[in-house]
């Protein structure tokens, strides 16, 4: 099959793909038709993978894909396929693993060359149009690949076959079950602890990423062992990050990463998943420390989510671009004169709470950040600082904002819904819980034939969903159940778990594949074990099964969670640092915690204690006085005639607790 010799991206749902719809390149979206065209024309495939908020993706597009001469070479020699990695993480992970197997550093834009049947044989990331930065020019690369393809085709085919076999063995294979032990988490946490930058926070070196899976490992290890050094590593990193330039002090929310070791110069794209994970971590930190910094950052980030990230229907967009008006960070940075104009008579207060910095490697306007002293002062004088921020935000709103990627991703929204529901419980903010419930309802309303889409943009939906979508939404449903006490969310979670098994189970009962069984355009059906900026699909699945089993008391589901976790750990044991999400979720399977509180909703005294003491290992059930008694581990049936709290670890429940002070002491006893 030969598709029309023109760019075919204009009708795609992905904003990233539509950004390239005017390129002179004859782009195709990833599809069976595009793969068939490559086979029919016997031309190799040039695969370009990126995402809407990616700065270097925009650079390569402007330099090369908008260049008619370079596009002509691409069109003559290759079938050109463009992929939004956020729409197709299954495709992205396969070819990113292929690049890694070639010994190359990964990143986006990902540029891969494939045989006509989709097998990778060479690749890289960003290529400049002409040779510079120590990289070959893109036309030079295109012509070299074409020459190799014509002259060494049999060798390339053999090499591609070997590479595909290697990637399949790494990403798709089964491994023997590994017993779950506390030592696995402790060992991983000890290794991460050794990487900590005890001056600047986070992991040593640059660039600095928030790395939520690693941070969660440290926090869970502290909860499990009582090792306060690991707790302190998390708190240090959060405090440094939330004072740095990586945090948007005016509008709220975290940028994707910092290019330097001081959290000062960010790549300015703002991703939904980073901020969802920040909310959960900051919520745990606030509960432990009472440090108002964390409360303020949670409130500011939720305000940003609800103000700037909601699309029609109440679900959340994917990201904001790093660039505006062709310049990275322009929207977020300030000059002294702009600060004076925005603050007027209050401009004299600015330097007490904020700094404008211009590091040597940064070419834009100064970046807003705080020193440690300014951070502490802004917490003390919160009302004053909030007034300054409001003026700066009003001034900034007149600027041309970066582009927003409006597609709604089920898995990322699941993370955001969970975070909002949990923070809403902790802060007593029913409006946050209602916003989480609205987003959840919007995604479920897009269901067709019992199946959820992976991506939604207006009336366009991308089916089928991935296993991580189902897992993230199961976790979101359990979080909403905890926040609202509404049984409907457990029923929804059960239905999602059934769909997860129907379309993604590996048939041996040992786990799940990332892509659905009817995804015909996937060259390799991978497991989805490897973490990226969020925990892997497998890690989220193990967590979802464990939390749902704990919430329902379903012993069969608990057994299933254990089996899936042991097989996942068997695979993760070879590469724990890249699969921290699996290690973290196995903690919930190994030692599930369950808190059942029975009391009147009119004047509760025990529920607020549970709400302000979140524990990622624990599932909370709230039962009104006089309702049917839930079954507890060990066959215990509590009375619902009088208030009480029942705290269970595994199959063992402690004696009933009736006083709020006693429950507070119990829940704050971290080591277990």
DSSP string, 229-273: HHHHHHHHHHHHHHHSTTB-TTT--B-SEESSTTS-SEE--EEHH
pLDDT for residue 573: 86
Residue 151 sits in the same domain as residue 276: no
Q: Are residues 160 and 273 in the same domain?
A: no
pLDDT reported for residue 133: 73
pLDDT tens, residue by residue, 433-448 = 999 999 999 999 999 9
Residues 145 and 29 in one domain: yes
Tell whether 9 is covered by a domain: no
**Do 439 and 314 touch, CB atoms closer than 8 A?**
yes
Split into its structural domains, the chain has a count of 3
Instruction: Give the domain-ending residue among 405, 428, 447.
Output: 405
Q: What is the DSSP letter of 462?
A: E
Please indicate, yes or no, whether residues 163 and 256 belong to a single structural domain of this protein: no
Between CA 270 and CA 106 the distance in angstroms is 20
On average, the pLDDT of the chain sits at: 95
**Entry pTM:** 0.96
Specify whether 273 is located in the same domain as 390. yes
Task: With cut-offs at 50, 70 and 90, classify the pLDDT of residue 670.
Answer: low
* Structure-block tokens of residue 571: 């695979």
Mean local confidence (pLDDT), 533-551 = 98
State yes or no: pLDDT of 374 exceeds 80. yes
- Do residues 284 and 155 share a domain? no
Q: Residue 52 domain-assigned?
A: yes
Give the list of residues 6+ apart from residue 372 with CB closer than 8 angstroms, or none: 239, 243
Neighbour count for residue 428 (Cβ, 10 Å)? 11
**Which of 179-188, 224-233, 579-588, 622-631 shows the lowest per-residue confidence on average (mean pLDDT)?**
622-631
**Least confident residue range of 105-109, 111-115, 462-466, 514-518:** 105-109
Expressed as residue numbers, the domain containing 661 is: 593-667
Lowest mean pLDDT among 98-102, 243-247, 341-345, 633-637: 633-637
Q: Cα(500)–Cα(514) distance, rounded to whole angstroms?
A: 10
Let me know whether 160 and 278 are in one domain: no
pLDDT in tens, 257-309: 999 999 999 999 999 999 999 999 999 999 999 999 999 999 999 999 999 99
Helix (H) or strand (E) holding 552: helix 537-552
Q: Say if 122 falls within a structural domain.
A: yes
| pLDDT above 90 coverage of the chain, percent | 92
Q: Is residue 258 part of a domain?
A: yes
Which region, left, alpha or beta, applies to residue 134 given φ > 0 means left and ψ of -120 to 50 means alpha? left
SS3 label, residue 620: strand
Q: What is the pLDDT of residue 671?
A: 44
Report the first-to-last Cα separation within the chain, whole angstroms: 61
Q: Is residue 88 part of a domain?
A: yes
- Side-chain-side CA neighbours of 92 within 13 Å: the count stands at 20
> Does residue 362 contact residue 330 with C-beta atoms inside 8 Å?
no
**In this structure, is residue 626 part of a structural domain?**
yes
DSSP structural state of residue 62:
I
Final residue of a structural domain among 370, 405, 440: 405
Note whether residue 107 is domain-resident: yes
Q: Are residues 267 and 394 in the same domain?
A: yes
Would you state the pLDDT for residue 539?
98
User: Domain end: 114, 146, 172, which one?
Assistant: 172
How many whole angstroms separate alpha carbon 328 and alpha carbon 266? 10
User: What tens digit of pLDDT does each residue of 23-78 get?
Assistant: 999 999 999 999 999 999 999 999 999 999 998 999 999 999 999 999 999 999 99
| More confident position, 427 or 628 | 427
Q: What SS3 state is found at 132?
A: strand
Beta carbons within 8 Å of 533's beta carbon, 6+ residues apart: 209, 210, 211, 212, 256, 271, 273, 274
Tell me, yes or no, whether 364 and 277 share the same domain.
Answer: yes
pLDDT digits (tens, 9 = 90+) for 587-603: 999 999 999 999 998 99
Q: What is the CATH number of the domain that holds 78?
A: 3.40.30.10
Residue of 479, 493, 348, 478 lying closest to 422 (CA atoms): 479
Q: pLDDT at position 672, please?
A: 47
What is the token pair recorded at 461? 């939906």
> What distance in Å separates the CA atoms of residue 660 and residue 607, rounded to the nearest whole number?
9
Q: Which long-range contacts (CB under 8 A, 24 or more apart) does 201-205 make?
A: 201/236, 201/237, 201/238, 201/239, 201/240, 201/241, 201/263, 202/237, 202/240, 202/241, 202/263, 204/261, 205/261
pLDDT value for 1: 57
For position 361, what pLDDT does the model report?
83
Residue 485 lies in a domain: no
- Give the integer Cα–Cα distance in Å for 455 and 448: 13
């Amino acid at each position: 099959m030969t598709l029309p010799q023109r760019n075919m991206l204009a009708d795609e749902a992905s904003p990233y793909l539509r950004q390239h719809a005017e390129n002179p390149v004859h782009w195709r979206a990833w599809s069976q038709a595009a793969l068939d065209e490559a086979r029919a024309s016997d031309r190799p495939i040039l695969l370009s993978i990126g995402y809407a908020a990616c700065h270097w993706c925009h650079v390569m597009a402007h330099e090369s894909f908008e260049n008619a001469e370079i596009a002509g070479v691409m069109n003559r020699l290759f079938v050109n396929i463009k992929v939004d990695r956020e729409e197709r993480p299954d495709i992205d992970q396969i070819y990113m693993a292929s690049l890694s197997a070639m010994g190359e550093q990964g990143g986006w834009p990902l540029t891969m060359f494939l045989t006509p049947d989709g097998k990778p044989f060479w690749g890289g990331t960003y290529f400049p149009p002409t040779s510079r930065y120590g990289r070959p020019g893109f036309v030079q690369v295109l012509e070299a690949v074409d020459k190799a393809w014509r002259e060494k085709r049999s060798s390339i085919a053999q090499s591609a076959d070997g590479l595909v076999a290697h990637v399949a063995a790494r990403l798709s294979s089964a491994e023997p079950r590994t017993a779950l032990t506390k030592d696995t988490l402790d060992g991983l946490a000890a290794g991460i602890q050794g990487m900590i930058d005890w001056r600047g926070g986070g992991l040593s070196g640059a660039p600095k990423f928030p790395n939520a899976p690693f941070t969660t490992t440290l926090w869970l290890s502290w909860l499990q062992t009582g090792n306060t050094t690991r707790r302190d590593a998390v708190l240090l990193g959060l405090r440094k990050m939330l004072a740095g330039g990586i945090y948007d002090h005016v509008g709220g929310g975290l940028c994707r990463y910092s290019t330097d070791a001081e959290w000062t110069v960010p790549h300015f794209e703002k991703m939904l998943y980073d901020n969802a994970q920040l909310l959960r971590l900051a919520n745990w930190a606030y509960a432990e420390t009472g440090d108002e910094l964390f409360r303020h950052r949670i409130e500011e980030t939720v305000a940003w989510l609800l103000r700037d990230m909601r699309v029609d229907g109440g679900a959340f967009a994917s990201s904001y671009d790093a660039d505006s008006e062709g310049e990275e960070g322009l929207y977020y940075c300030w000059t002294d004169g702009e600060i004076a104009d925005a603050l007027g008579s209050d401009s004299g207060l600015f330097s007490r709470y904020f700094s404008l910095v211009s590091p040597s490697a940064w070419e834009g306007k100064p970046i807003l950040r705080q020193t440690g002293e300014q951070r502490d002062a802004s917490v003390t004088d919160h009302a004053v600082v909030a007034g300054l921020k409001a003026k700066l935000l009003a001034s900034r709103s007149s600027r041309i904002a970066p582009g927003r990627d409006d597609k709604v991703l089920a898995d990322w929204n699941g993370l955001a819904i969970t975070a909002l529901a949990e923070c809403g419980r902790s802060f007593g903010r029913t409006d946050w819980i209602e916003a989480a419930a609205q987003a959840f309802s919007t995604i479920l309303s897009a269901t067709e034939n019992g199946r959820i889409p992976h991506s939604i943009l207006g009336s366009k939906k991308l089916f089928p969903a991935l296993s991580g979508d189902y897992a993230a939404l199961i976790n979101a449903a359990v979080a909403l159940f905890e926040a609202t006490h509404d049984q409907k969310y457990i029923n929804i979670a059960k239905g999602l778990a059934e769909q997860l098994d129907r379309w993604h189970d590996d048939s041996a009962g040992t786990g799940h594949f990332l892509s659905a069984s009817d995804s015909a355009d996937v060259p390799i059906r991978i497991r989805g074990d490897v973490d990226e900026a969020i925990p892997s699909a497998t890690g989220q699945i193990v967590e979802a099964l464990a939390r749902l089993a704990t919430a329902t008391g379903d012993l069969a589901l608990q057994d299933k969670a254990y089996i899936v976790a042991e097989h996942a750990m068997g695979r993760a044991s070879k590469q724990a640092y890249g699969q921290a999400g699996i290690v973290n979720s196995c903690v919930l399977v190994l030692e599930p915690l369950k808190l059942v509180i029975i009391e009147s909703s009119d004047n509760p005294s025990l529920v607020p204690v549970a709400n302000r003491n979140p524990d990622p290992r624990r599932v909370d059930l709230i039962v009104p006085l006089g309702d049917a008694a839930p079954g507890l581990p060990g066959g215990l049936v509590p009375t619902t005639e009088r208030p009480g709290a029942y705290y269970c670890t595994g199959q063992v429940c402690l004696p009933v607790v009736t006083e709020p002070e006693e429950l507070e002491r119990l829940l704050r006893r971290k080591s277990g």
